[in-house]
Amino acid sequence: MNNKQKLIDKLAHAFPAKKSHHQLLHEIEDLKPYECDALSAYQAVPLAVAIPDEIEQIKLILSICYEDNVPVVARGAGTGLSGGALPHENGILLSLAKFNKIISINENNNTAVVQPGVRNLAISEAAKEFGLYYAPDPSSQIACSIGGNVAENAGGVHCLKYGLTVHNIVQLKVITMDGDELTIGCDAFDSPGYDFLALLTGSEGMLAIITEITVKLLPIPAVAKVMLASFDDIAVAGQAVSDVIGQGIIPAGLELMDNAAIKAADDFVHAGYPHDAAAILLCEIDGSVEEVQDQLQRTEQILKNSGATKIQTARDEAQRAQFWAGRKAAFPAVGRLSPDYYCMDGTIPRHQIANVLKRITDLSEEYGQTVVNVFHAGDGNLHPLILFDANNEGELERTEELGGKILDYCVEVGGTITGEHGVGIEKINQMCGQFNSEEITQFHAIKIAFDEKQLLNPGKNIPTLQRCAEFGAMHVHHGKLPHPELERF
């Protein structure tokens, strides 16, 4: 009996015999659907996929893998865009898809307790009857899971005013690799001690398995209005973003799309976008009737002064939804333009938007590849989409190089290599450029504190110092590695 079969036999004890073949997958045809997340450029097939539906099953799976030194990669809905849920070829993929219950909604405390497999949008749908909703709204919110949102610290089109996932959760229940059940945070406004809640949010499955999340709910605004502003120069549109916020207005959402994105989205969902515009800004104001009316008038004047050629306010709720449908569908719409696209995720200071957009244009011309720009302009979170064809030899590698240069420039102007998609495997080399060896050593120390054997999602997020030295981004303590055991995976 080989080692894989021995492991499968052990794991089978975690599940009832009659369900084992549904909850423990190990045949190649069953494993292939799990070989990647939405970033399909990187693929790997795990030894097995475990799909538990009870906490005790998770604990037993982790116990077996801990004892046998088997890597474990947690997976939500698989909508991630950085390879964070890429399986380990010698490990187990732990799917949390069956943990999909909304446990409770507390209308008095404005919170909901949910399991990690609950879809983002399902929370707002369930809370609607209480006049509440969950604010973070990634473009994939119809499908993405809240556990994955926590793992990647997801944002969305309304993150400018209402914040990222980390600003909208109050408590996590997790299980560490060695079996400890921990409660991080609390139901109160603030919790004592170190902010482990922020540490776990965005940790990309590296520190613990999330089993329960308490999210904040907000009252549904009395009114929300969206303006569509057209520009004949994308750099001018970028500057308009800073002009709006510089005047003290914080829209609920402020999104920018360039001409290629405009046409792709409009052809896909018929959002009513102007095809002749070089760029558009979608600006949503929400709140009380009086507040919205005042800010709409002020914002419209600012946009006119900033160079908008045309401004259209949605006439009703149906048109508002139509405008947002185009933005929400931008990624799949762009997917119709090319066999493949590479979605980047960098964040920059708002005042650098025009400058960075020019740099992206220059790089696009240098590499001879089309780059479509769609991003959360209000908080400087860029999503350049690089079009390519993976069937052409060397084109993926060239695309990765172009994407890397865009991220490097984000860091150069004072930004960061990710805003909401995470590092995963995609941006691990760029981590070497953003952080020095002492900082990366500290990241590894945190990892070891939670996961001493380095079994949770190994090889992601934090580069080894050896990798950084090979990448040419840093010198490594005169050639000495502080944690040589990290090279195992």
The answer to whether residue 489 scores a pLDDT higher than 60 is: no
Kindly report, residue by residue over 69-128, the tens digit of the pLDDT: 999 999 999 999 999 999 999 999 999 999 999 999 999 999 999 999 999 999 999 999
For the chain, first and last CA: distance in Å? 25
Kindly report, residue by residue over 385-410, the tens digit of the pLDDT: 999 999 999 999 999 999 999 999 99
Cα separation, 50 vs 94, in Å, equals 5
The answer to whether residue 472 scores a pLDDT higher than 80 is: no
Mean per-residue pLDDT, 195-211? 97
The answer to whether residue 480 scores a pLDDT higher than 50 is: no
Asked if 89 and 167 count as a contact pair (C-beta separation under 8 A), the reply is no
Mean per-residue pLDDT, 23-46? 94
As a three-state string, the secondary structure of 21-68 is HHHEECCHHHHHHHCCCCCCCCCCCCCEEECCCCHHHHHHHHHHHHHH
Kindly report the average pLDDT of the chain as a whole number: 93
Q: Are strands 92-95 and 72-75 parallel, antiparallel or unpaired?
A: parallel
Asked if 379 and 349 count as a contact pair (C-beta separation under 8 A), the reply is no
Tokens read off for 88: 């380990």
pLDDT at site 184: 96
Full-model pTM:
0.93
Mean per-residue pLDDT, 49-77? 97
The model's confidence at residue 1, banded by pLDDT at 50, 70 and 90, is low
Cα–Cα distance list, 260 to 78, 293, 395, 425 (Å): 27, 32, 21, 28
**Considering the chain, what percentage of its residues have pLDDT values greater than 90?**
91
pLDDT: which is higher, 247 or 41: 247
Tokens read off for 216: 């904040």
Domains (range + CATH), the chain: 3-95 (3.30.43.10), 102-219 (3.30.465.10), 223-332 (3.30.70.2190), 338-426 (3.30.70.2740), 429-488 (no CATH)
Mean per-residue pLDDT, 129-154? 97
pLDDT at site 24: 97
The answer to whether residue 474 scores a pLDDT higher than 80 is: no
Asked if 396 and 353 count as a contact pair (C-beta separation under 8 A), the reply is no
